[in-house]
Amino acid sequence: NAGVTQTPKFQVLKTGQSMTLQCAQDMNHNSMYWYRQDPGMGLRLIYYSASEGTTDKGEVPNGYNVSRLNKREFSLRLESAAPSQTSVYFCASRQGSSSEAFFGQGTRLTVV
């Protein structure tokens, strides 16, 4: 059972470069999420998709865009990376309200 799979696991970018973080889930979940984890800040919601075809801003959406490509896949794009976006990024999915969220293994991104 793959669960939630994120690629890549590690990435180093130069300031101004762009990249897309990929996330896929095989549990037929409706909702998908992108978070960033920073020391002392906990997990902060970037964007989420409550269902296929919808996306909404979270707590820290600036500098990011997302695409819910289909029910399985939810990608996060950094158009012009900044050092402040150095973080560990987590994708998660769950069936819906009240249900358990399942997390990917994380992507460690460094912007130099």
Partner 1 sequence: AQRVTQPEKLLSVFKGAPVELKCNYSYSGSPELFWYVQYSRQRLQLLLRHISRESIKGFTADLNKGETSFHLKKPFAQEEDSAMYYCALGNNQGGKLIFGQGTELSVKP
Residues that bind partner 1 (CB under 8 A): 30-31, 33, 35, 40-45, 48, 50-51, 56, 58-59, 90, 92, 94, 96-98, 100-101, 103-106
31-38/4-7 β-pairing: unpaired
| Residue whose CB is less far from partner 1, 17 or 105 | 105
Residue 79 CA: distances (Å) to CA of 28, 38, 63, 98, 105 = 29, 20, 7, 33, 23
Q: Which is nearer to partner 1, 55 or 81 (CB)?
A: 55
Supply φ then ψ for residue 90, to 5 degrees.
-120, 135
Q: Which C-beta is closer to partner 1: that of 26 or that of 59?
A: 59
- Please, which residue, 1 or 14, has the CB nearer to partner 1? 1
Contacts of 53 by beta carbon, 8 Å cutoff, 6+ apart: 68
User: Residue 63 CA to chain centroid, in angstroms?
Assistant: 13
Q: Least separation, in Å, of the C-beta of 41 and partner 1? A: 6
Instruction: Give the nearest distance from C-beta 45 to partner 1 in angstroms.
Output: 5
